[in-house]
Amino acid sequence: MYFGNLETVPYTKRTHWILLSKTLERQLGESEFEKMKAHFKGKILPPIHPQSVRIRMISKEIIDALQRGLSNEQVWSDVGYASAHVTGFEGHTERETLKSLTDASADGKEESGWHKEDEILDDSWVQQSRKKGHEKGPATSHLDGLNWEVLVVNEPVVNAFCLPGGKIVVFTGLLEHFKSDAEIATIIGHEVGHAVARHSAEGMTKNLWFAILQLILYQFVTPDIVNTMSSLFLRLPFSRRMEMEADYIGLLLIASAGYDPRVAPTVYEKLGKVTGDSALRDYLSTHPSGKKRAELLSQAKIMEEAFTIYKNARSGRSIEGFL
């Protein structure tokens, strides 16, 4: 059971153990997406809204970059929109539609210190993981035949996420703070990175083992102490590692899509300031601090790798992509 459920994460080549089947994972993501559409009914921007078109185009470029990296090439349909389907103007591309809509609208008028084991983006960690996972190809079957959909919700929430099954949700509150396409691509790339690495399914598997361990410790230690120690030393560090792995995957995705990866560190620093950064976040939060994420992404080899991919993509030499 153990060896039959071992998988290699694309891009980082980290090996992880997942019990949840790919089919069930996708069904859970799609079910949650339907609940979200019902919950935010009336607040979902229509498909022809400039921001909807823009987010869908950025998402498609990232998904296309991911597609080029798959070992078995497949045909992916255009990124769909979660609300009622509305076609653009006849004879116009999405970018032309966006430009005309936008024009029409315009006319109307010091932290320090963290645990070394948390540094999942460390250069040596990346190289070690890739060496271990070299013989076994990355697991990509969970990305086969996904019906990618985008939902833009008119809510002042600074957030975005990608559910299993290729369901991307972006809140307009995020667009108030991040204006450029590269900034938005960085955040969407990070969220898609979670889906690529199957972090939701891995989290469910890990939580099962955490629960078993807690039940054993309950026999010897009071539940309050067990719960606190489990959160501090197991759940939160694991969550932060997944976030940093998604940062790295997202960095390579946006570079492959032709977005300048040098923007990414500033995005995470800004995100940290917007959400209220603190040195304690490196220990007491599900997400690392923005400063830490920026420093890890700025490491010479990691950024050099991403920038090389970006230059090749811009010059048209990265048509095959990679995983």
Catalytic sites, residue numbers: 191
β-bridge mates for residue 15, sequence order: 8
**Calpha distance 121→307 (Å, rounded):** 16
Are 59 and 188 a contacting pair, CB within 8 Å? yes
Rg (CA), the chain: 20
**Calpha distance 257→315 (Å, rounded):** 12
**Calpha distance 212→181 (Å, rounded):** 44
- Residue carrying the six token digits 């929109």: 81
Are 149 and 83 a contacting pair, CB within 8 Å? no
**Calpha distance 52→314 (Å, rounded):** 25
CA 42 to chain centre: 26
**Calpha distance 39→45 (Å, rounded):** 14
Helix (H, G, I), strand (E, B) or coil at 136: coil
Query: Closest by alpha carbon to 138, among 149, 129, 146, 147?
Result: 129
CA 158 to chain centre: 15
